[in-house]
Amino acid sequence: MGKLVRSRNRVLAGVCAGIAEYFKWNVGTLRLVWIVLSLIGVGSPILFYLILWIIMPEARLGGDYAERMQKRLDERR
């Protein structure tokens, strides 16, 4: 397993996607479970999400050639 980091595949901060990538879970399912838990108020998941947002480092653009090229293309637009 790699390092637990916030993903670049993000909706808000990349916390759910980072957790899903780390444990090799489906990110859509994890986001849905997180939303349901937030709505019913089990264990303050919103507060936990905010804490993870602060604690988890952001994923770096690494050695993946495709990611680096996509970043260059995005910068030119």
Instruction: State the distance between the two ends of the chain, measured CA to CA, in whole angstroms.
Output: 35
19 versus 61: the higher-pLDDT residue is: 19
Which among 1, 3, 11 is positioned nearest to 62, based on CA atoms? 3
10 versus 69: the higher-pLDDT residue is: 10
Per residue in 26-72, pLDDT (tens digit) is 999 999 999 998 888 877 888 888 999 999 888 876 656 666 667 77
Tell me if residue 58 falls in helix, strand or coil: strand
The phi, psi pair for 36, rounded to 5°, reads -60, -45
Residues linked to residue 58 through DSSP beta bridges, in sequence order:
6
Quick one: pLDDT at residue 54? 92
Tell me what the mean pLDDT of segment 10-22 comes to.
88
Instruction: Please check whether residue 60 is in contact with residue 7, taking contact to mean a CB–CB distance below 8 angstroms.
Output: no
